[in-house]
Amino acid sequence: MNDSDLVEAARQARLAAQAPFSGFLVGAALETAEGAIITGCNVESATYGLTICAERVALVKALSEGHSRFVQVAVVADAGQPTPPCGACRQLLWEYAGNLDVVLANLTEVTGRHQLADLLPLPFDRRQLE
């Protein structure tokens, strides 16, 4: 799959975001090793602490649908600069998806490309629990 299809899926997912407090709509699209695209959007809570990011929505959806191997994730927000996954999203993506490609984009262009390991150096994972 090419980046443009994945980014477009994230752009479309963004339109379903529930962001009544911040107004900051985010969409994510996670590509499985089999080529399926699983999308997610951010869902805010009045308590803010219960807000869930688009990346985690996509990941949890994918896992709950039986997917377990992933290639890349695209994250789209209406921002001039790259909008990378937050720390919680980086941690869960690392644990369940490994060192996948992270494509960042806004409504018109790709704004960054990274490996997850570059965004989450020295991660805590199952190796520390052995």
Confidence of residue 129 (pLDDT cuts 50, 70, 90): confident
For the segment 79-99, the average pLDDT, to the nearest whole number, is 96
**Residue 47 pLDDT:** 93
Q: How far is CA 12 from CA 59, 80, 108, in A?
A: 17, 18, 13
CATH number at residue 64: 3.40.140.10
pLDDT score for 1: 67
pLDDT, tens only, 10-35: 999 999 999 999 999 999 999 999 99
**What pLDDT was estimated at residue 126?**
82
Number of domains in the chain: 1
Q: Kindly state the helix (H) or strand (E) to which residue 114 belongs, with its residue range.
A: strand 110-115
Q: What is the pLDDT of residue 6?
A: 97
**pLDDT confidence band for 124 (50 / 70 / 90):** confident
CB 59 within 8 A of CB 67: no
Catalytic site positions: 55
**Domain range spanning residue 105?**
3-129
pLDDT in tens, 31-80: 999 999 999 999 999 998 999 999 999 999 999 999 999 999 999 999 99
What's the rounded Cα separation, in Å, for the pair 49 and 38? 24
